[in-house]
């Protein structure tokens, strides 16, 4: 009888230990689930927005080149309209991107990216001011500045 009582006690202790370990593991799994949720709702969206920002920049560069190469006023107007739309998209993306980079390192890198983009936009605007006509000499100046 004493052996049976000891075995029952040991079984109860093991069951209690298993239950405690299970609760601990479930708590850790909940933490991991919250981390994964944060990654999918914030971090990945930030990377997607950075990719979209890159695509917007490439479109602006393409439109800039098209404006430089445009020979007719109608083409110039069409490409300027594309450019205005692309610039609006770029400005929206630049405004939205801060919310996805919340660490000090992320904020620092996004700040540098914004500085580079703003410097490029100044040159871009200068190129557009020169190239926004059909004069061949002005187009050559814009092309040289764009290189």
Residue of 64, 96, 95, 55 whose CA lies nearest to 82: 64
Distance CA 108, CA 53 (A): 17
Question: Residue 1: what pLDDT?
Answer: 63
Convert the pLDDT of each residue in 81-132 to its tens digit: 999 999 999 999 999 998 888 889 989 999 999 999 999 999 989 888 888 7
Tens of pLDDT, residues 24-61: 888 888 888 887 777 777 778 888 999 999 999 999 99
pTM of the model: 0.70
Locate 140 and state its tokens: 């050559």
Quote the crossing angle between the two packed helices 104-131 and 73-96, to the nearest 10°: 170
């Amino acid at each position: 009888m004493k052996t049976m009582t000891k075995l029952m006690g040991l079984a109860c202790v093991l069951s209690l230990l298993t239950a405690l370990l299970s609760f601990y593991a479930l708590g850790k799994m909940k933490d991991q689930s919250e981390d994964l949720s944060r990654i999918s709702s914030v971090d990945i969206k930030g990377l997607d927005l950075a990719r979209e920002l890159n695509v917007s920049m490439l479109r602006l560069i393409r439109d800039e080149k098209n404006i430089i190469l445009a020979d007719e006023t109608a083409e110039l107007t069409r490409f300027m309209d594309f450019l205005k739309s692309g610039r609006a998209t770029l400005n929206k993306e630049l405004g939205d991107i801060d919310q996805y980079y919340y660490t000090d390192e992320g904020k620092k890198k996004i700040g540098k990216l914004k500085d580079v983009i703003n410097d490029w936009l100044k040159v871009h605007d200068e190129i557009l001011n020169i190239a926004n006509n059909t004069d061949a000499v002005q187009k050559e100046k814009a092309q040289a500045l764009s290189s």
